[in-house]
Amino acid sequence: MANPTAPTMPGAAGTPVVAAPAVRTRPARPEKRLEIKLSAAKEESRFIGPLPLAIGVIALAATLGFAHRVSSKIEDPNYVQAKESLSQYELGRTETEKNYDSPIYVEALDALAKVDPGSISTDKAAALVADIKFKTDAFHRRINARTEAEKAFQDASIDRNREYLAAYQRDLLTKKKDYPECKEGEGEHAR
């Protein structure tokens, strides 16, 4: 059966004719392409699309998040003030030379109580408060121990003095022995 869509030659009824292959020729290249200038509105609209807009929004959110994180890394001013005043007071002093009843420690504890609970200094302030309280307790224990030692020393001294006086009084009240070879003004030991 013959193909109805195949080209046929006139005169030949129903026999298809095979056409010769077409020779491909390349069109000549234009010498210079014309630059197409877009208006400002069209040029801007070309860059604002859903993808660049989404990237811009994400970049803005990231920038704001970074700025918030950096701004929240600033130490609380109350913590900084307390830490600075304590370091100035404690500079060059040994633990036994520090007076924890000093008003500096009271002021530092007041400043540390004002530290914002949401700041990054909260944990450091709590640790500093605990450290001050621990050292203050140790300071008072040292003072009490020193006071008790001084009182014990004074009591021992008083007891020694009492015993000495008692012994002295016993010697005065006790009759002294009279040695016949030892008369007043006589003997070698009297000279």
In a domain, 22, yes or no: no
Is residue 188's pLDDT more than 70?
no
In a domain, 70, yes or no: no
In a domain, 139, yes or no: yes
In a domain, 105, yes or no: yes
Is residue 129's pLDDT more than 90?
yes
Is residue 6's pLDDT more than 80?
no
Mean pLDDT across the stretch 23-46?
65
Torsion of CA 145, 149, 155, 156, to 10 degrees: 150
- What's the mean per-residue pLDDT of the chain? 78
Tokens 């993808």: give the residue.
51
For residues 59 and 138, which has the higher predicted lDDT (pLDDT)?
A: 138
**pLDDT value at residue 184:** 58
In a domain, 10, yes or no: no
**pLDDT value at residue 191:** 46
**pLDDT value at residue 189:** 52
Mean pLDDT across the stretch 22-27?
74
In a domain, 111, yes or no: yes
At residue 92, φ and ψ (nearest 5 deg) are 80, 5
**pLDDT value at residue 64:** 80
Domain with 104 in it: 77-172
For residues 132 and 32, which has the higher predicted lDDT (pLDDT)?
A: 132
Structural domains counted in the chain: 1
In a domain, 97, yes or no: yes
In a domain, 4, yes or no: no
